[in-house]
Amino acid sequence: MIRVGLIGAGFVGPAHVEALRRLGYVEVLALAGSNARRAREKADELGIPEACGDYRQLLASPRVTVIHNATPNQLHFAINRDALQAGKHVVSEKPLSLTVEEGRRLVHMARETELVNAIDYNYRGYPLVQQMRAMIGRGDIGRVWAVHGFYMQDWLLYPTDFNWRILPEVGGESRAVADIGSHWCDLAQWVTGQRISRVIGRLGTMLPVRYRPAERVQTFAQAAEGQREEVQVHTEDYASVLFDMDGGAMGSLMLSQVSAGRKNRLWIQVDGSDGAMAWDHDRPEELWIGRRGRPNELVPRDPNLFAPGVGRFSDLPAGHAEGWADALRNLMAEIYDFVRAGKNPVREAPTFPTFYDGLVENRLVDAILESHRRSAWVEVAGVREQAPAPA
């Protein structure tokens, strides 16, 4: 058994627990929460044996070998750093950290310690996203020349909608771009194999004032009626971004957390010289292929039809719907196969997103914010830098 310590069990932490349990050889041994009482209650609810109110206690446990960091963003850097220092493998929620400099330090530490380091860009775990990457990689749509799409949500549509992500000191300077745009950009880069190299973004805060409830509100939940305090909002609800990629493709992206009726609508299309491909998170069991001289195609999620190597991302036969929780499980399976085999991420290339991918996203977010401030195109730092390659 590989034993895990989970830090933070709000919305996404319990989804990690479920995904890990499905692997069969991982035990979530301990939970650290923001205080001991809440951690104990949550641990009982989730069937986790040990609980504590200070994550450092959990890092000191010799039985725990992997840490999952599912806390609000401003805690990511310190927890990821302390976990590596304590000799634990780390699976961090995104973002890796709030700043590029912190991200660089974590990438450096991960390389020095040779511990497994992963970041939860879980949309990569969908089988048809893997299929898209495989088909683009083998040239099925020719030369990739454009990538476009959007990611829209509506859970922050009303001035009374509130979450820690709205506050820059907790969520970071950017919201829509860092919170959901980072997933889309990770996918765009992952499926095409190209890096976003230049950006120009325009950000909008449609709701400059929000009303914060006295009680903490869980992600995606609505706050109860009651006393509220007025808060000035400085993070963006909305963003439009144009970009260039280092392999020659150009792209555009629209992001919103205030688009009524769109719950978690991620859509991405890749256009090539010989066809196009689109994946829609509202229809995750289909991959659309656009053709000019012949009928378009729809690839269903059918393990029998997948490219070599994609089958492991699909548990169930075709026709038995899989979704978000399954994609998360698939990503965890990639990470834990690596951990279980005792692989060293400095010597063998991981098949899952690592801290380096987190740094790539930090740099992208920075560039988009700067381009908005200056109303100008901005080069993304580090694009020409070699990603850490196996020694």
Ligand X SMILES: NC(=O)c1ccc[n+]([C@@H]2O[C@H](COP(=O)([O-])OP(=O)(O)OC[C@H]3O[C@@H](n4cnc5c(N)ncnc54)[C@H](O)[C@@H]3O)[C@@H](O)[C@H]2O)c1
Which residues of this chain interact with ligand X, rule CB under 6 A? 7-13, 32-34, 55, 70-73, 75, 93-94, 120, 122, 179, 218-219
- CA-based nearest residue to 185, from 259, 235, 124, 106: 124
C-beta of 179 vs 236, nearer to ligand X:
179
What is the smallest separation between the CB atom of 66 and ligand X, expressed in angstroms? 16
C-beta of 2 vs 46, nearer to ligand X:
46
What is the smallest separation between the CB atom of 22 and ligand X, expressed in angstroms? 17
What is the smallest separation between the CB atom of 122 and ligand X, expressed in angstroms? 5
C-beta of 120 vs 244, nearer to ligand X:
120
What is the smallest separation between the CB atom of 330 and ligand X, expressed in angstroms? 13
| Position of minimal CB gap to ligand X | 10
Per the CB < 8 A criterion, the answer to whether 265 and 155 are in contact is no
Per the CB < 8 A criterion, the answer to whether 201 and 239 are in contact is yes
Per the CB < 8 A criterion, the answer to whether 268 and 187 are in contact is yes
**Distance, CA of 36 to CA of 130 (rounded, Å):** 40
What is the smallest separation between the CB atom of 143 and ligand X, expressed in angstroms? 31
What is the smallest separation between the CB atom of 3 and ligand X, expressed in angstroms? 18
b vs e for 19-58, b when ≥16 Cβ sit within 10 Å of the residue's Cβ? bbebeeebebbbbbbbeeeebbebbeebebebbbeebeeb
What is the smallest separation between the CB atom of 164 and ligand X, expressed in angstroms? 6
C-beta of 71 vs 371, nearer to ligand X:
71
C-beta of 142 vs 323, nearer to ligand X:
323
C-beta of 188 vs 245, nearer to ligand X:
188
C-beta of 245 vs 333, nearer to ligand X:
333
Residues present in the chain in total: 391
